Chain A
């Protein structure tokens, strides 16, 4: 069965510093991978997704993620964090494409940004 691990529950970075959020997945075939962001009191918004092609994917708000099959990882990065990036971030894996896909989510990483 597929699963997702986000090892960092809580991360604090200074504004302007770089950011990397870790995500490891377990799945036998090529997964569909997603990063979502949740601002306080809000639903989840898609940041970026990977399902084929270039292993470095660009998303909204200046985020990017790199798929590394050998490490079963899909880490999220941003070169310079803004105070508005403070939120909870979720990595998710989908078993396959097609009409009946569903996602399994990690436990989330809460990002705090210091001025």
Chain B
């Protein structure tokens, strides 16, 4: 079955270190998204991509970057981790065709703790 997987599922790091969260989907979806989930804020969009070599900033993109070198993967990089980036991160994808309703398919999340 097609799926979307995130790794690692749990990570603890120190302030100032670079961290990369992986996201891999096997649906051949064009669109991929990264959200962070925090109490009282719900899910907030960090970055998104509508296809290979395309990346866009979401509402909370400061301190994060993404790259899209193939259809299947959208890694999220924290260049210099800060305690404010302690959160649960969700990757999601959608088909990206003209008939697309925007329905998202989610990974199981990556819990990041920055000490």
Contacts and interface: CB of A to CB of B under 8 A. Distances in A.
Contacts of B45: 102, 104
A40 to B, nearest CB: 11
B99 interface: yes
B33 A94 contact: no
Most buried by B among A98, A100, A107: A100
B97 A99 contact: yes
Contacts of B109: 41-43
Contacts of A36: 106
Contact of B103 (A34, A95, A106): A34
Interface residues of A, number: 28
B42 A101 contact: no
A34 B103 CA distance: 8
Size bracket, chain B contacts: 20 to 34
Q: Is the interface of A mostly helix, strand, loop or mixed?
A: loop
A30 to B, nearest CB: 12
A97 B104 CA distance: 13
Contacts of B41: 107
Contact of A32 (B33, B43, B102, B107): B102
Given A32-B102, A94-B101, A107-B41, A101 B108 contact: no
A38 B21 CA distance: 21
Interface of B: 30-31, 33, 35, 40-45, 48, 50, 90, 92, 94, 96-104, 106-109
